[in-house]
A and B are shown apart, each in its own frame.
Chain A
Amino acid sequence: MVAAPDVPRASAEALLRSEPAKRPRNMGQILRWLLLFIGGILMVMPIAYMISTSLKWPHEVYNVNLIPEEPTIENYTYVLEDGRFYWWFVNSIIIATITTICNLLFDSLVGYTLCKFRFPGRTIVFIAILSTLMIPTEMLVIPWYLMSQSFGWLDSYWGIMFPGLMTAFGTFLMKQFFESVPDDFIEAARIDGLNELQIWWTVAMPLVKPALAALAIFVFLGNWTAFLWPLIVTNSVDMYTIPVGLSGFGDEADVAWELIMTGAAISTIPTLVVFLIFQRFIIRGVVMAGLKG
């Protein structure tokens, strides 16, 4: 009878001893969540504010409240019924889509060539391509403009698209990803009788799908939100892209923020769609499955 209470006491002590050891981990967890929460708020706020503003009447726009006092979808009706917005949307879709497809094709072709073929001057070509990354867009705008002018591409799709049909960044990204495609695959295909273009398309490209998906998202978003160059190269309102068009909403005296935010809210839809389509291709480890791990 005397010895019996010892057992629960011992385990209670053990529990007490383990308590301080657990606490710092919980604190760390809480701190991490807090940081993530703050980060999340910072990311979501602008989007929430954009949607909130798009639901406000003009007189309420400069109030900082998140919930509009008298919510309205009047702005959406206005923007969607305004013929100009429709054209800007179409322009942006055409430009971003064509540019994305061209980047996927050209960047991966050049990246593949630089990665898998040995030829004199290969390194120099690669360095030359990389070094263009160091030149800011602002410096290139004037030469681009003069080129567009002499080609007769001002105020046209070609004019807007041509500087971005191939990018140094995309070439670099694809080259690095092709490094992960083992030469054995390419040599096996060569022995199986494929020509180099067929090898690139049927063997190498499917193996770098994650990189292609990432590149597609980058290029599409980049072109969807591009502002400076489309603003410079286009003159007529019909050729504007969404960012250029939205910036002109309102009149000289006032900026119509509620309309700009409405346009911006609508224009996020395609980027979401692109992201949802391509993110499922970003699956790691596809390349290694056919080889001994």
Chain B
Amino acid sequence: MANLSLHQLTKSYGTTEVLHGISLDVADGEFVVLVGPSGCGKSTTLRMIAGLEETTSGIIEIGGREVNNLEPKERDIAMVFQNYAIYPHMSVKKNIAFGLRSSKLPKADKEKRIQEVAGILDMVPLLDRKPSQLSGGQRQRVAIGRAMVRDPAVFLFDEPLSNLDAQLRTQMRLEIKKLHQRVGNTIIFVTHDQVEAMTMADRIVIMKDGYIQQVGTPEEVFHKPANTFVARFIGAPSMNLLEGRVSGGAVSLGAGPEVRVPALRKSGGDVLLGVRPDDLHPGSGNPIVTGTVSLREPLGSETLIYVDTALGEITAKADGRTPPEVGATVELGAEPQNLHVFDKSSGEALT
């Protein structure tokens, strides 16, 4: 087990820079998720930590030791790939044992370790099978087993769940989280799925276009997004962003009422008022905007309503039992502490 730190990490392919000076400190035993849309540089960062991609500049440290010039095998890491990458010509047991090939443990200890890992992953009855006889979830568990058996300082997961179906993904998500609680190794997990990021991470690193947008706990990135990108990326459905102007301590939205926002760090200029659908309800106090319901999506306990307003289409949540009819006029409101204000040009948070 060890901590990991990245200092001003950059990566260029030819003249194109794809990572622009990433810095990140991961504590010992922490579960950190790198999340972002495709092409944001999250997988490149992971591959650089693994040593599969060369670093253009910057320093990678694992356990206080600079590893930039070390081979992958010397970095004390293990990686689980999106495509599992378990060897089809070897049995499950041989696949797991493969991780121990370069280890100097005595044979009996190796065998003990394999049985231990197979036990943790519930794979003991499958040890003699070939990968072709396993389901997708079982194959991914073998891949995790091969990584676990070496007890590395840092586990790297490169979108390991994206090939699984929805139900299995939820199950594996739980298993990986339980596994982390049990073994306690440092984990860097890459995904493009914000739900995975929110549910698994101790801390989330949100990336876009080769820059880190925000680093924080799931609660922080959800409740205090640093900019409009994070605000819209985290949370489903996405946060509503309404154009307005700041004057004094309030935001005016076109023809609508002035909305008072606490702790606003700007006294004038164009802004975007952000409010999550979960915080925006018809008929609540502190009204913000009025419009006509154009579509309803019943979710059971709640109903998602799409409302046409003078400021564009807005998503809000209504009660599941008595939602407003399509075509009804509703007044949507939110508590002042649930409102977010962002600078219109830079997108930075102002609350």
A290 with B87, Cβ < 8 A, contacts A190-B52, A192-B73 known: yes
A193 with B88, Cβ < 8 A, contacts A182-B83, A187-B52 known: no
Q: Which among A189, A190, A193, A206 has the greatest number of chain B C-beta atoms within 10 A?
A: A193
Q: B139 contacts the other chain (Cβ, under 8 Å)?
A: yes
- Please encode chain B, from 107 to 148, with 1 for each CB lying within 8 Å of some chain A CB and 0 for all others: 000000000000000000000001110001001000000100
Which one of A153-161, A163-171, A281-289 contacts B?
A281-289
A192 with B88, Cβ < 8 A, contacts A184-B81, A187-B52, A290-B139 known: no
Q: How distant is B22 from chain A, measured CB to nearest CB, in Å?
A: 21
Which one of B97-105, B232-240, B243-251, B267-275 contacts A?
B97-105
Across the two chains, which residue of chain A brings its CB closest to B133?
A289
- Which residues on A sit within 8 Å (CB–CB) of B132? 289-290
Q: A78 contacts the other chain (Cβ, under 8 Å)?
A: no
Q: B289 contacts the other chain (Cβ, under 8 Å)?
A: no
- Which residues on B sit within 8 Å (CB–CB) of A189? 98
Q: B33 contacts the other chain (Cβ, under 8 Å)?
A: no
Q: How distant is B37 from chain A, measured CB to nearest CB, in Å?
A: 22
Contact between B101 and A192, CB atoms less than 8 A apart: yes
Q: Which of B73, B130, B136 contacts A191 (CB 8 A)?
A: B73
Contact between A290 and B86, CB atoms less than 8 A apart: yes
Contact between B85 and A290, CB atoms less than 8 A apart: yes
Complex-state Cα separation, A194 to B99, whole angstroms: 10
Contact between B77 and A191, CB atoms less than 8 A apart: yes
Contact between B131 and A193, CB atoms less than 8 A apart: no
Q: B79 contacts the other chain (Cβ, under 8 Å)?
A: yes
A187 with B85, Cβ < 8 A, contacts A289-B130, A290-B131 known: yes
Contact between B85 and A190, CB atoms less than 8 A apart: no
Across the two chains, which residue of chain A brings its CB closest to B89?
A206
Contact between A289 and B84, CB atoms less than 8 A apart: no
Contact between B99 and A192, CB atoms less than 8 A apart: yes
Q: How distant is A237 from chain B, measured CB to nearest CB, in Å?
A: 46
Q: B72 contacts the other chain (Cβ, under 8 Å)?
A: yes
Complex-state Cα separation, A206 to B90, whole angstroms: 10
Complex-state Cα separation, A193 to B76, whole angstroms: 10
Complex-state Cα separation, A91 to B131, whole angstroms: 43
Q: How distant is A57 from chain B, measured CB to nearest CB, in Å?
A: 54
Contact between B52 and A290, CB atoms less than 8 A apart: no
- Please encode chain A, from 166 to 205, with 1 for each CB lying within 8 Å of some chain B CB and 0 for all others: 0000000000000000101101111111100000000100
Contact between A286 and B73, CB atoms less than 8 A apart: no
- Which residues on B sit within 8 Å (CB–CB) of A290? 84-89, 131-132, 139
Q: B337 contacts the other chain (Cβ, under 8 Å)?
A: no
Complex-state Cα separation, A291 to B84, whole angstroms: 6
Across the two chains, which residue of chain B brings its CB closest to A288?
B88
Contact between B73 and A292, CB atoms less than 8 A apart: no
Q: B78 contacts the other chain (Cβ, under 8 Å)?
A: yes
Contact between A190 and B81, CB atoms less than 8 A apart: no
Q: A207 contacts the other chain (Cβ, under 8 Å)?
A: yes
Complex-state Cα separation, A206 to B136, whole angstroms: 22
Q: B50 contacts the other chain (Cβ, under 8 Å)?
A: yes
Known: A184-B83, A190-B72, A207-B87. 16 other contacts (CB 8 A): A182-B83, A182-B85, A188-B79, A188-B146, A191-B73, A194-B73, A194-B102, A207-B88, A288-B88, A289-B131, A290-B88, A290-B89, A290-B131, A291-B84, A291-B85, A292-B139
- B interface residue numbers (CB < 8 A to A): 50-52, 71-73, 77-79, 81-89, 98-99, 101-102, 130-132, 136, 139, 146, 150, 163
